[in-house]
Amino acid sequence: MNRRLDLAMLLLLTFSTGMVDAIGYLGFDKVFTGNMTGNVVILGMGLAGADGVPVLRPALALVFFMLGAALSGRILGDIGENWHHRTTVIFSGVAVGCAALSLYVALVPDPEIGLAGTIFTSALSALMGAQAAAARKMKIADVTTVVVTSTIVGLAADSSLAGGDNVRWIRRALAVVLILIGALAGAATLMLNQWIGIALVAVMISAAAVIGHLGEKKRRTRAEAAAAVSSNV
């Protein structure tokens, strides 16, 4: 039951990543802040001299994503696969960071232009790197929260059409659909104001942190109660 809750929270974060990438790509000069594969491709085209393709922001996004993931990995340590209080710390920190960035975008004039935009995409990439590292620690197959390419491969390769057994097809399909709908939602928020989408992302990550933490606390309480009963037998 507890792992199903973890899966649900990671699927929620997958949706929020779709929003983040749509906001970064459409609103901040073609930069992915969650999907680093996209940034590698954009960076390659930019280095080749393709017109209108940025180099600096995608490069910095890659660097800061890795820094965020490294810091998250250091904090998490060897916590195992289950939700841990350190997992809550990481996701809570990401939520607070996104909330701060939404305020930043709301207050800074023309936040997508020049240094202001570069600061935003770099900081958001660091936060997404931290989130991705925490999700990776949980080792829930096919749900990384930041990319669905391998998920789509698994969905197709294990399908009945390919002679497979359709293993985990529901979570795989949900991950793909949720990141798609998230991108749609992120693009829609840009029609209103840039800060709104990031604020909604902060709310969703906060919800995932709280629900996941409460679920883990309940699991620990049950485990302690079971251990107490066993010791009294």
Provide the token pair at 40. 């590698």
pTM: 0.92
The mean per-residue pLDDT over the stretch 123-128 comes to 97
pLDDT of 225 above 90: no
Predicted confidence at residue 232, as pLDDT, reads 65
d(CA 68, CA 72): 6
Assess if residue 65 is contained within a domain: yes
Per this entry, what is the length of the chain?
233
Contacts of residue 50, Cβ cutoff 8 Å, sequence gap at least 6: none
CATH number at residue 57: 1.20.1250
The residue range of the domain holding 129 is 2-226
Please count the structural domains in the chain: 1
Confidence of residue 55 (pLDDT cuts 50, 70, 90): very high
Tens digits of residue pLDDT in 185-212: 999 999 999 999 999 999 999 999 999 9
Provide the token pair at 72. 């998250």
Assess if residue 233 is contained within a domain: no
Assess if residue 232 is contained within a domain: no
Q: What is the C-alpha radius of gyration for the chain, rounded to an integer number of angstroms?
A: 19
Lowest-confidence segment of 60-74, 88-102, 137-151, 213-227 by average pLDDT: 213-227
